[in-house]
Amino acid sequence: MKNTPIEHIIAENERRKAMAAADRYDQLTGEGCYGDRVEADGCRVPRAVLARCPDYLSLTTLERDRWRIQEDFEYWCVRCVTIKDKLSGRNVPLLLNSPQRRLLAVMEDQRTAGRPVRVILLKARQWGGSTLVQMYLAWMQLVRHQGWNSLICGHLHVTSKSIKRMYNLLLRHYPRDLLDGGRPRFSKLEGQPNVQQVEGRDCLVITASSRSEDAVRGYDIKMAHLSEVAFWQSSAMHSPDEVVRSVCGSVALELETVIVLESTANGVGDYFHDEWLRAQMGRSDKQPVFVPWYEIDIYSHEVDDPEALWREMDEYEHALWNDGCTLEQVNWYHHKRREYRRHEMMMAEYPTSASEAFATSGNHPFPREDLDRLEQGCAGGPLLEGDIQGDGMSGEAAKRNIHLVKSAGGLLRVWEAPERQRPVKTRYMVVVDVGGRADSSDYSVIAVWRMAAGGRKPAIAAQWRGHIDHDELAWKAMQLAKYYNDALLVVESNTLTNEAARAGESDYILEKVLHVYGNVYRRESGRLGFHTNGKTKRKAISALIAALRDDKYVERDIEAVNEMRFYEEHNGRYAARAGKHDDILMTRAIGLYLMEDRRVNPDWQPPSVSLSVDTWCVEHVATGR
């Protein structure tokens, strides 16, 4: 692409700009505006207006305006809303830009479908996301409903008050003739400095900070605008999730209620990032909305010499062009990034993707690009969710009649069934990270690795994750190892060894498993299990870093990728970010590290032997030394 003649590039750039200019949008006439619209007296008005008022065309202009603003938010914005322009400082009508229109479409899709409006908004800089949200709430209060109370909650009171000032400006300039009772205004409630009443609409606007969890108790809240949530701080008294839970619990699940969480990113692993990931995976009630920098009109710069720019563009900037940016947009990015010491800092401020927005500083050991690539393998769902069982839960009985039980939401997920052809050429390894028993503790994880074979990369074939007594965990791991072609069973032994020592037992659980199942990993010292210490942990994490860099394994679980995004390095020590887990991550790191061990993954196969498995045999094929 870099060798494309510059004439072709310029022609394509002109085509892209022409397409953007052809997007005609006029909030007064309704051209290009949201929703199902019909022609009415030279304008395109929402069909819902004519459905509610069949005599619309026979009304006076003022009467038509009053009807139209009830169903046409964009018309209401240009007709009734005054904002302060950030560039000129002048008071101007609210003319929606492209990102604001996209956010509005998401909210209106939910409202017009008869659903509560629930959105989580990941913002870039300077496009008016907070303005759009606040004006949408004001439209509900001033036009569509009486008694529709709203909450504005920022990480500090000053944030909430800044948003409320937008509302004040709207009320001061609101057209007198478009609201019964004249121009609305705020009035304070005695003894409640953070509560304002909108006179004539019987509704309240409450401001609060994330530090005041009880601010909304006692109020019938219908709408909540939670701002800069990524910067909300945890304390001994409350956490961000507790504040959000308190707020959301005050908003009924009914038509035209609104909850919007919005923020710029503040790294990974915090409450906002968690909620964003849940929304992306479809596990949240909120729809995620992200606006990349190139959708914001002001981020464009004229190109004096297209050929020189094309030569100077690096691989990332050529990717921007290939994704549809104009040369003017790439030129702005090309010059703007010079202000930052590292490209990652630029990406955090002006993200092209959501993952860029959450990009962290240099203490993150796994590059974002590697994790984005790894995440691509997580698109498909599992073949089965459920559990694995045998005739018993321990001992010889646990080894008999091993089978899978299908159960929606089960803790075992299977992406690949074991290969059953004979002779079997695919080997497996089961890696166990031992967690706690209580629900509040770290998870235990059993990861089934399919080893590299026949040109295929190693891959995660199955995984169990949950809380369980450690003896039950060991036997369940044995069952999975047995099920997957008598796989090598590797158990992280620190916790089990310490428990045995405290109990005064010399015959700890791995030795019991070994009596029943012979293929249990031993260290070079002869001791059972994988021992994690500072040295082996660094080696394991290094193996994982290299595998990600070189695209050497296939991941299936998105939570594994998320754990890697939360992982940090401080002074040569690796650990999960506070409040996060690394249990899945460690099964990947240990597995990849051991695959470099010739005792675990030799270049040759052992002589042909048969290992007894309840209903079938596994034959290892000798290929010579």
What is the average pLDDT across 285-312? 93
3-state secondary structure of 207: strand
pLDDT above 90 coverage of the chain, percent: 55
pLDDT over 50 (residue 133): yes
pLDDT tens, 31-52? 999 999 999 989 999 999 999 9
Q: How confident is the model at residue 615 (pLDDT cuts 50, 70, 90)?
A: very low
- Please, which pLDDT band fits residue 361 given cuts at 50, 70 and 90? very low
The more confidently predicted of residues 421 and 122 is 122
User: Taking the mean position of all CA atoms in its chain, how far away is CA 202?
Assistant: 38
Tell me: pLDDT of 610 over 50.
no
Q: pLDDT over 70 for what percent of the chain? A: 89
pLDDT digits (tens, 9 = 90+) for 301-320: 999 999 999 999 999 999 99
pLDDT at residue 553 in the model:
95
Q: Is 488 helix (H, G, I), strand (E, B) or coil?
A: strand
Q: Are 95 and 25 in contact (CB under 8 A)?
A: no
Higher local confidence (pLDDT), 510 or 508: 510
Q: How far apart are CA 275 and CA 281, in angstroms?
A: 10
pLDDT in tens, 540-565: 999 999 999 999 999 999 999 989 98
- Give me the mean pLDDT over the 432-441 stretch: 85
This prediction has a pTM of 0.68
CA-nearest of 588, 593, 597, 544 to 569 is 544
pLDDT for 15 beyond 60: yes
- pLDDT tier, 85 (very low <50, low <70, confident <90, very high otherwise): confident
Whether the Cβ atoms of residue 279 and residue 287 lie closer than 8 Å to each other: yes
What the chain holds in terms of domains, given with CATH numbers, is 89-291 (3.40.50.300), 378-619 (3.30.420.240)
pLDDT on residue 159: 61
- Tens digit of pLDDT for each residue in 368-427? 888 889 998 898 889 999 999 999 999 999 999 999 999 988 999 999 999 877 676 678
Mean pLDDT of the chain: 86
Specify the pLDDT at position 570: 76
- Please say if the pLDDT value at position 620 is more than 50: no
The encoded tokens of residue 496 equal: 């089990």
The whole-angstrom separation of Cα 458 and Cα 547 is 10
Residue 244: per-residue pLDDT? 82
Number of Cβ within a 10 Å radius of residue 237: 9
**Model pLDDT, residue 601:** 67
Q: How far apart are CA 462 and CA 509, in angstroms?
A: 23
225-270 confidence digits (pLDDT tens): 998 888 887 665 667 778 888 888 888 889 999 999 998 887 777 8
Q: Is 577 in contact with 567 (CB distance < 8 Å)?
A: yes
What pLDDT sits at residue 622? Answer: 32
Cβ atoms of residues 228 and 154 within 8 Å: yes
pLDDT of residue 609: 35
Asked if 530 and 590 touch (Cβ cutoff 8 Å), the reply is yes
Whether 279 shows a pLDDT value over 90: the answer reads: yes
Query: Are 380 and 415 within 8 A, CB to CB?
Result: yes
Where helices occur in 53-189 by DSSP H, the ranges are: 61-71, 73-80, 98-112, 129-139, 157-172
DSSP label at residue 54: T
In degrees and rounded to multiples of 5, residue 47 shows phi and psi of: -55, -30
CA distances from 106 to 120, 134, 352 (A): 11, 15, 20
pLDDT at res. 215: 56
Confidence of residue 468 (pLDDT cuts 50, 70, 90): very high
Considering only 18-27, 484-493, 565-574, which range has the smallest mean pLDDT? 565-574
